[in-house]
């Protein structure tokens, strides 16, 4: 079955450093997402991306966050100046088409630890 | 408002028994999806049920949806130790929002 792949699987970074998390969505999918899960907490929506622009973002997704689809396959999440509270598992996801009846597939996640 | 709240929070059963997990939500939805997460791993999609469907099966999984009660259940029959994981429901609401809203999940332990 096609899958969403994410790199790195783990990253440890110093507070204040920039981090880029990378994702390769399923190849024919058109809708892309980032979610995060702080240890022991719910999975939370960050941002959705369609047609080369952000279609929706949450309150968490502030000016420190940005997303990009630099080429036809990659989808990246950048955190400009990491804070301790950014430590979480970050999930990339993709969907073929609009919401109704379309499954969202998630990657394995990138563990980010900010020290 | 909270969506996709599962119960119980934790469930421990013996191999071979059935496991039932419930999910409640608050607003009208397009779909409800169930995911499994092994500890520290990614979210594996199990089943999507649309708002106009009442029941769906996939192998040992059976999902029901009652939109009048705004609730869903996931039944795993003849459980195996490998079913040990956290199970989440996720909803996407009718209206403009793209996002899935997850509950905190049910942590299922299947003892051999």
Q: Which of B29, B100, B101 to mutate to test the interface with A (most CBs of A within 10 A)?
A: B100
Q: How confident is the model at residue A72 (pLDDT cuts 50, 70, 90)?
A: confident
Which residues of chain B have a CB within 8 Å of the CB of A33?
Answer: 98-99
CB B25 within 8 A of CB B71: yes
Q: How many CA atoms lie within 13 A of B64 on its CB side?
A: 10
Model pLDDT for residues A15-24, shown as the tens digit of each residue: 999 999 999 9
How far are the Cα atoms of A28, A43, B68 from residue A98, in angstroms, in the given order? 13, 21, 25
Q: What is the CA radius of gyration of chain A?
A: 13
Say which of A55, A58, A100 has its CB closest to residue B50.
A100
Question: How are strands ordered across the β-sheet holding A75-79?
Answer: A5-7, A19-24, A75-79, A65-68
* Res B45 pLDDT > 60: yes
Report residue B35: phi and psi, to 5°: -130, 155
Which of B10, B36, B42 to mutate to test binding with chain A, by most A CBs within 10 Å of its CB?
A: B42
The pLDDT confidence band at residue A101, using thresholds 50, 70 and 90, is low
User: Please, which pLDDT band fits residue B2 given cuts at 50, 70 and 90?
Assistant: very low
* pLDDT for B1: 32
Q: Sort strands B106-111 and B101-102 into parallel, antiparallel or unpaired.
A: unpaired
Distance from the Cα of residue B98 to its chain's centroid: 19
Residue of chain B with shortest Cα separation from A34: B99
Quick one: pLDDT at residue B84? 97
Q: Which of A31, A45, A99 is the closest to B31 by Cβ?
A: A99
Mean pLDDT computed over every residue of chain A = 93
């Amino acid at each position: 079955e096609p899958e969403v792949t994410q790199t790195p699987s783990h990253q440890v970074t110093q507070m204040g450093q920039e981090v880029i998390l990378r994702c390769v969505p399923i190849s024919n999918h058109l809708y892309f997402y980032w979610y995060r899960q702080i240890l022991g907490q719910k999975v939370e929506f960050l941002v959705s991306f369609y047609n080369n622009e952000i279609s929706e973002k949450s309150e968490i997704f502030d000016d420190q966050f940005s997303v990009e689809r630099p080429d036809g396959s990659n989808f990246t999440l950048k955190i400009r100046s990491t804070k301790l509270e950014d430590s979480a598992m970050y999930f990339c996801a993709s969907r073929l088409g609009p919401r109704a009846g379309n499954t969202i597939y998630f990657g394995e996640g990138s563990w980010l630890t900010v020290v | 408002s909270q969506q996709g709240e599962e119960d119980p929070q934790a469930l421990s059963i013996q191999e071979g028994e059935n496991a039932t997990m419930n999910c409640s939500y608050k607003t009208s939805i397009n779909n409800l999806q169930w995911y499994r997460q092994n500890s520290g791993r990614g979210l594996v999609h199990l089943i999507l049920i649309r708002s106009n469907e009442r029941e769906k099966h996939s192998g040992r999984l059976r999902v029901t949806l009652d939109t009048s009660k705004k609730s869903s259940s996931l039944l795993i029959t003849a459980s195996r130790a490998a079913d040990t994981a956290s199970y989440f429901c996720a909803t996407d609401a009718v209206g403009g929002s793209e996002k899935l809203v997850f509950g905190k999940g049910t942590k299922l332990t299947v003892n051999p």
